[in-house]
Amino acid sequence: MTTSEHAAGSEPDMQPRCPRCNYDLAGTLEQSEHCCPECGTHWTIEELTIQYEAQQYIARNPLGLGWVFMPGFLVLLIAPIGIMAGTTTFLMTLLIATCYAWYRIAQWARELHRRSFANGRTRLNRVLYVSGWTLGLVGLNAAWIAAVVGGIVFGIVRFTGRGG
């Protein structure tokens, strides 16, 4: 098996790219020294294969902003149900929704991390990775604040008898 067959695997459409500058490395696979002629980055066949597999995974599983805002929306949606049922149920519902929200944010961040490894534009992807965590946590914290403030207001209205 030649080096290019090993790099391409069973995928005929694989176009090896430099992990750093995204330069097309198709003509350099047969060379003994694996070095990008554009930027000088040394690479291995395994790195190119992992990069290609990550790109294929991302192409099949696109990311969206729903991954960022869905957890906070979920907390806001579930919290009123817990508030109406009582304090203990409210706290348990909020805890369960928050755990699920953390899980989804972590999944989204993992996919962003995989995406940042999949192409050469790592600086931009690091910014997106940090922004994704920040947006997810800000949305989750805003939902927490809204749910807790709503619970307090609902409790005051309920116990003072001022509600309709």
d(CA 158, CA 136): 32
In the chain, how many domains are there? 2
Domain co-membership, 138 together with 78: yes
**6 pLDDT more than 70:** no
Domain co-membership, 48 together with 92: no
The model's pTM is 0.39
Domain co-membership, 85 together with 45: no
Domain co-membership, 35 together with 95: no
Q: Which long-range contacts (CB under 8 A, 24 or more apart) does 107-111 make?
A: 107/67, 108/63, 108/67, 108/68, 108/132, 108/136, 109/133, 109/136, 111/58, 111/61, 111/63, 111/67
For the segment 21-66, what is each residue's pLDDT rounded down to a tens digit?
Answer: 778 887 777 766 788 888 888 877 777 777 777 666 656 655 555 5
Instruction: Note down the domain range covering 42.
Output: 3-59
For the segment 114-163, what is each residue's pLDDT rounded down to a tens digit?
Answer: 666 555 555 656 666 666 667 666 766 777 777 777 777 777 777 777 65
